[in-house]
Each structure stands twice: as structure tokens, then as C-alpha cells.
Copies of this chain bind each other. A is one copy, B any other.
């Protein structure tokens, strides 16, 4: 199939109010061309048909497919490794950074871990068809229930990590969704090999082949065409760098679940236990600096700054973290603190760099976070429960923590099971998102002939 045609530009309605107003007869015409003329549309429609079939396939058959896929991934290890070696060779030739090569790279241990993760999703409780909240009987005798159903078709758009392919396929099948998986060009061969293993597992279990489709190209025009398929795709989840996520958000006509970045804060209150605060700051910044729930900024209560900042500076220097501070931090933080620029407060370093600012108590910390936060994760360290509860109630980030590291903002750590992504926009899912985030609810009403009067 050819996927290189440029899609039609995004259509904007004329700037006038619709002539007929809200009560007018709506003209028909979904204007959907036949599949054969557009391979991306054909793929999206195949996913829709698979989703319609999946929605009524019982949980145990989807569980069986997950177990079969895990086995096929294990058995397919040599083929997956061979494809990955080719990807790595091309990536090295293209001069990719060591960090990216590491993300792309698979070995037997990593493939075994991917298979184990699929088996864990197979063991997760199934949510589809469960009642949400109590059923109610209306005064007219109608019985009203809300029932959990799949979203339908999920498109994942991601970059170099091949494990996203199996993680996303597994969580989508667990929740009865069909998925379209579009990884980065660096991982193209690896993803196709993983896709073959997934397809074999689906066939073993008798599930529709189109339930999991590897997008056959990494061409940007084809991605754009996919992002306009709002009739056949229910949600797009981009994962990766901010540039990719902004491209998807700006292009998509399909709803997007995403986070751009995590500028996470730790506020050290005047009533904090200094030893606990030092341990949490170090962990939040340095345990794994390249991930979104690592801290980027420490906010230090003025009341504790003279005693705490010298110790914090020493601790961070000892582990090789560069400090960019406000005036007080430059004065109190010890040698080597660089002055922070205004931009530093909005920067996700994803590196061994931290910005530090002295603030006036919890109110000052909240004010800074409201201005510079990214709605991802913020922590407070304090022994004062009143101050802590004020912080937890006022900061509207998707995860707020008291006396714990920001690094716990993770689906697995919070007990959600496997995580499909993190959302920092408040609609649908907010924060780490697991199986429940891939579902919605419908109203199911049972009557005995009721009509409305």
C-alpha cells in the first residue's frame, strides 16, 4: 500500500454563524470516501470493525489472547533480537545519542520482562461490563445503570522504546480496545517483529487480527492522516518528547491524552525534618533524572533556609547535581551555585540540574507552583499536618504528595497496575493512567414501555 499521499488540509468552517441556527435540519453526508482510496482510512476502519467485535468478546477469551501473546513474544525472541540489531545498526549510523540507543536496545532480559509484563496484565481484573455506582430506579419505574465499556479504538504515537508496543497492546486488549501502534522510525523493525508475535498470539486465541495493528510507516504525512480519522479512532495517546506531543495535539481532530512535561516541585517547609527533606530532595532529583516525575525545582521555606540550604547544597554537590538558585540560594547554598534565570523556573532539565528558590512559607510555594508548575506532581515535606493538608488541598496537580518523593507518581507505584501514560490535562484521566483510563461508561436503561410526557 502507498502511504505517502498528503492528506487534505484541516478543514475550517467559514467564519459566519451557521445560517439555520440551533434548530435547523442538519444536512447529511458523512463524506467518507471508500477505504480502497486511502490506506490510512482503511486501517482505521479495520480497527473500528475489530473494536466492535472485541466489545462483546468475553473477558476470559481476551485473557487467553494475552497469555498466548506473552508466549509468542518469548518464543519470538531470536527474530525480535535480529530485527532490533538492524534497528540499532541504522541508529548508530545515523548518530543517535547513547541515551536513545539505550532506549531502543533489546536483549533477552528485556524481552523476557516485556513478556512478563503482558502476563501481569493478563492477570489483572477485567473492568468491561462492570456496573459503575449503584443502579437507580426512577419514579417512573425506569431502571438506570452505568456500565463500563471500552473506549473503542486507541492510537498510540511514541518514539524509540519498543516495550511501549507490547505494553500498549496488552492494556488495550485487557480493556476490550483495538489499537493502532505508531512507534518511532528508529524502532520500526523491532516493532514489526513484535507485531508479528502479537498477531500470532491473537490468531492462537481466535481474536480479530486487526485488534492490534502496527502502523506500517513512520512517515509524518501518514501520521497526520491518521490523526484526522476522528470517525474511527476514539483517542490518541502520544508519548515522547514535547515536540512530538505538540505536533499530535496541534494536528489531531481526535481527542488527545497527554502530558507535555513534568516540572515537578518539592517544597521543604519550615517544619520539615531536615534529614527526611534531604533524602526526599536527593531521591526526587537524582534517583532517575531523565523521567517526567523527577523533581526540577526545590522550594525552600525562608524559615528553614539559613540552616537547610547549606546542607542541601553540600548533599547535591556530593552527587554531582548542578544548582541554579535565586539570590538567597546563591548566598546560602555554598560554592558553585549559579544564578537562575527566569526561564529556569519553567524548565524540565531531565538531567542532573536543579533550580532552587527560597519562598515565604506554604503560600509562597503554592504561588510559585501555580505560576510555573505543569500539573504533574508536587511534594511537600513537613511535620505540620495543617500545613501539609493546606498544600494537598490547594495544589491542583494530578499527584500531590506529603513526605514522599515525587518519583512515586507512577501507575505501578500508586497501585493502578500497568500504566498506559500520564495525563496533565484534567479531562478524562488526570495523572497516571491505567486500565480504567482506557474505558468509559454508558447509560443502560431498562423500562416497561415508559414514554415521556
Residues from chain B with a CB closer than 8 A to the CB of A28 are 343-344, 346-347
Answer yes or no: A270 CB below 8 A from chain B CBs: no
**Chain B CB within 10 Å, residue with most, of A129, A144, A408:** A408
With beta carbons under 8 angstroms apart, the residue of B290, B403, B428 that contacts A23 is B290
**A36 at the A/B interface (Cβ < 8 Å)?**
no
Quick one: CB contact mask for A333-362 with B, threshold 8 Å, 1 for yes?
000000000011011111100000000000
Say yes or no for A37: interface residue by CB 8 A criterion: no
**How many Å lie between the Cα of A399 and that of B447 in the bound state?**
13
Whether the Cβ atoms of A396 and B442 lie closer than 8 Å is yes
Report the minimal beta-carbon distance from A247 to chain B, rounded to whole angstroms.
Answer: 4
Measured in the bound complex, the distance between the Cα atoms of B253 and A103 in whole Å is: 31
Q: Does the CB pair A430–B440 fall under 8 Å? A: yes
A400: contacting residue among B24, B440, B443, CB under 8 A: B443
The verdict on A99 contacting chain B, using a C-beta distance below 8 Å, is yes
> Would B241 and A415 count as touching, CB distance under 8 A?
no
- Measured in the bound complex, the distance between the Cα atoms of B432 and A413 in whole Å is 34
Q: Quote the shortest CB–CB distance from A58 to chain B (angstroms).
A: 11
Binds B, one of A10-18, A109-117, A191-199, A301-309: A10-18
A432 to chain B, nearest CB (A): 7
The reply on A327 being an interface residue by CB < 8 A is: no
Q: A250 CA to B96 CA in the complex, in Å?
A: 36
In whole Å, how far is A127's beta carbon from the nearest beta carbon of chain B?
A: 13
**Other-chain contact of A408, B136, B403, B452 (Cβ < 8 Å):** B452
Please name 4 further chain A to chain B contacts, defined as beta carbons within 8 Å, in addition to the given A23-B350, A144-B414, A255-B427, sorted by A numbering: A287-B452, A287-B453, A427-B428, A431-B441
Task: Flag the segment in A68-76, A207-215, A272-280, A315-323 that touches B.
Answer: A272-280
Q: Once the chains bind, are A56 and B393 in contact (CB under 8 Å)?
A: yes
CA distance A253 to B251 in the complex (A): 10
Q: Indicate if the CB atoms of B273 and A100 lie closer than 8 Å.
A: no
Assess the A443–B426 pair: CB atoms within 8 A.
no
Chain B residues lying within 8 Å of A80, measured Cβ to Cβ, are none
Question: By the criterion CB–CB under 8 Å, are B403 and A251 in contact?
Answer: no
Of chain B, the residue at the smallest CB distance from A48 is B370
Q: Are A445 and B399 in contact, CB atoms less than 8 angstroms apart?
A: yes
Complex CA–CA separation, A97 to B20 (angstroms)? 9
Complex interface bits, A236-279 against B, C-beta within 8 A gives 1, otherwise 0: 00011111101101110101010011000000000001001001
* Residues A17 and B396 in contact in the complex (CB < 8 Å), given A97-B23, A425-B255, A451-B405: no
Task: Please give the distance in Å from A160's CB to the nearest CB on chain B.
Answer: 6
Pairs A-B, 9 closest by C-beta atoms: A18-B243, A404-B447, A283-B451, A28-B343, A407-B452, A428-B428, A13-B247, A276-B449, A22-B240
Are A440 and B452 touching (Cβ within 8 A)? no
Question: Which among B347, B398, B448, B453 is the interface contact of A443 at CB below 8 angstroms?
Answer: B398
Give A residues with C-beta under 8 Å from B. 10-13, 15-18, 20-30, 52, 55-56, 96-97, 99-100, 103, 129, 136, 138, 142, 144, 149, 151-152, 159-161, 184-185, 220-221, 234-235, 239-244, 246-247, 249-251, 253, 255, 257, 260-261, 273, 276, 279-280, 282-284, 287, 290, 343-344, 346-351, 370, 388, 392-394, 396-405, 407-409, 413-415, 425-428, 430-432, 440-453
Distance, CA A21 to CA B184, complexed state (A): 10
The residues of B that contact A426 with a CB separation of less than 8 Å are 151-152, 234-235, 440
Q: A21-B241, A241-B20 are in contact. Are A273 and B400 (CB under 8 A)?
A: no
Known: A235-B427, A253-B249, A426-B152. A450 touches B404 (CB 8 A): yes
Compute how far the CA of A425 lies from the CA of B251 in the bound complex, rounded to whole angstroms: 18
Query: Is there an interface contact between B444 and A392, defined as CB atoms closer than 8 Å?
Result: yes
Chain B residue at minimal CB-CB distance from A246: B13
CB neighbours of A398 from chain B (8 A): 442-443
Do A415 and B451 have beta carbons less than 8 Å apart? no
Residues of B within 8 A of A257 (CB): 427
